Amino acid sequence: MEPVLQVKDLKTSFLTSSGEVQAVRGVSFSVNKGESVGIVGESGSGKSVTSLSVMQLLTGTGKIVGGSVKLNGRELVGIGTKEMRSIRGKEVAMIFQDPMTSLNPLLPVGEQVSEMLWAHEKDLSRADREARVAELFRMVRIPEAEKRLKSYPHEFSGGMRQRVMIAMALACKPDLLIADEPTTALDVSIQDQILKLMRSIQREIGMSIMFITHDLGVVAELCNRVIVMYGGLIMEQADILDLFEHPCHPYTMGLLASIPDINQDKQKRLQPIMGSPPDMIHPPKGCPFSPRCPYACRVCLEELPPIYTAGEGHVSRCWLLDADAPAADNPLSYAKGGKRG
Amino acid sequence: MSRYLIRRVLTMIVTLFMIALLTFCLMHIVPGSPFTSQKQMSQAVLDALNAKYNLDDPLWKQFFDYMRGVLHFDFGPSYKYTGKTVNDFIESGLPYSARLGLVTLCFVLLTSIPMGIVAALRNGKWQDMLLMFLATFGVTIPSFVIATGLLYIFSFKLGWTPVYGVDTWKGYILPMIAMGGYSISFLARLMRSSLLEVMGQDYIRTARAKGISEVRVIWKHALRNALIPVITVLGPTIANLLTGSFVIEKIFAIPGMGGYFVNSVTQRDYTTIMGMTIFYATVLIAMIFLVDLFYCLIDPRIKYE
């Protein structure tokens, strides 16, 4: 079956006065129907830019400089703005990080959701649209949905606003929902509610989700598959259980080690990943993670590692997986020698 | 809302009273009197004049007597122009000042806001550079310089517009440009920066993500938000334009209120100074009040309780 979204060798850059910031440097992945894929990485890893590239919502100097993005088999790179508008919101919708600022403060929330229907389902009357919005509000469990249509964003809490954003994104039943850190700006208790809501809605209507986050815990709750990004590249891609049980990249291992564990010995300190992300105007020649990697060898600094297969549907971009990598002191020796792809 | 309105009106009255009191004090601190002139008047004449206008009363009594008149919309007789009252000055000058002001206001709004929008949407391109160059020109060059330049070119050299007066509609053109120049430049810059800021907001990205046209994103989502700071400065701008610019009225020989005001100060025409100040202050305060009420209409977050 054809995947809903197929991204091949996507490259996105920002042309600034101090040089070309290569935010995404050749990323390939796909999202199948009904699947939820998590994209994980720290700030500046290129995960948000990847999603904005798919939506073609890059602002300012941001530009897709290469590669292909196919949605339902249709190429989106180089598509006309008008055609892209008819896809945006209808076939692929997005929810954003900060619900406090993502809604227009001067318009009633019902009207803002209704605008999505107005844009893509022209034959609906005003009354039809209102009924549909009320239905959507009930679906995202906004209490007293009918009454809340005329409310303004400032009359809602953060969690309720994010529900409005979700209702807006789902209005035209898109095939793919891109969620860019939808829970990061919310309280932990509200985060959990929103994640549960998204999971139940996904089950209900069977859409695909591309979930961008820096929180592996959130990914574990919602996603089937995980993509780990660093320095504008995909470092590792695996099924969710596989990734937690057999991480095949030192960066993923670092991420996992920095999650607090409730059973952990209180005396033991959390393990941070030392150092800071690379400068994307002059990205390192070798593996972007090598300056921070505790296992880095000379080859890591000099040459970008190829992608190795570490198992069924499990790929990783790390020299430690090479058949010629030293066995001693190699944390990945169990997965060594996979196919180079 | 009604409690807010009552409170607002009460504060406005107090403000006006304070302005009147301050003007009265300053006016009497300045040396001289309405009847000081180069030709020495005899003490008997001065005494008679002072008695006629109650200027021999204690100052506090003079002040409250005057304010009692103001309550009945009577700004008193002019001390310099026998037989004229301050109300006469306002009645004869206001129509000219207000008409010129209204014309200028429309001109300002119809040019500055589109200019700001175009500059913001073409940020960094030649249209933006050109408009912002003009706007910098407008705020830095004083209105009387612009006025004289315009007069020289359009009235004297080309003969398209009259040199003075507002007998025909053509007479309004140059004063309108000269008087509006500053406000246009100022508002265009404000509109530009405000719209630029709004265009970078998250909710604009949300609107774009819906797949609606860019025109609708700007019209429906950006403009209303961007207008809020512009409306804030509109109150004082409107009051300024409606009550007239003294300099512009002087240059184009328009018999508005400005001339009376300036003359009254140099001549120590006490009642005229007081009357004009109170009139100007009332218009200004009323405009600011109107703008505050207008906020309610445009911004649902503002509720007056």
| Conformation bin of residue A278: beta by default, left when phi > 0, alpha when psi is -120 to 50 | beta
In-domain check, residue B296: no
In-domain check, residue B262: no
A-contacting residues in B 209-228 (Cβ below 8 Å): 209-213, 220-221, 224-225
Provide the whole-model pTM.
Answer: 0.83
Quick one: pLDDT at residue A86? 93
Share of chain B above pLDDT 70, in %: 98
Domain residue spans of chain A: 289-341
- What is each CA distance from B227 to A212, A266, B121, B181, B230, in whole angstroms? 35, 55, 15, 20, 5
Could you identify the residue written with the tokens 């009552």?
B6
Residues of A with Cβ-Cβ distance to B295 under 8 angstroms: none
- Mean pLDDT to the nearest integer, A120-137: 93
**Domain coverage including residue B226:** 99-256
User: What is the count of residue pairs from A and B with beta carbons less than 8 Å apart?
Assistant: 74
Q: What is the pLDDT of residues B6-49, one digit of tens each?
A: 998 999 999 999 999 999 999 888 887 777 776 777 888 888 88
Burial class (CB in 10 A: 0-12, 13-18, 19+), A158: middle
> Domain containing B252 — which CATH number?
1.10.3720.10
In-domain check, residue B247: yes
Contact B210 A98 (CB under 8 A): no
* ipTM for this prediction: 0.88
Q: Of the candidates B201, B211, B220, which has its C-beta nearest A86's C-beta?
A: B211
Q: What is the pLDDT of residues B162-212, one digit of tens each?
A: 888 777 888 888 989 988 988 999 999 999 999 999 999 999 999 999 999
> First vs last Cα of chain B: how many Å apart?
5
Contact B206 A87 (CB under 8 A): no
Contact A253, A241 (CB under 8 A): no
In-domain check, residue B190: yes
Question: What is the total count of domains within chain B?
Answer: 1
Long-range CB pairs of A75-83 (<8 Å, 24+ gap) are: none
A-contacting residues in B 284-303 (Cβ below 8 Å): 298-301
Q: What is the pLDDT of residues A1-55, one digit of tens each?
A: 789 999 999 999 999 888 899 999 999 999 999 999 999 988 888 899 999 999 9
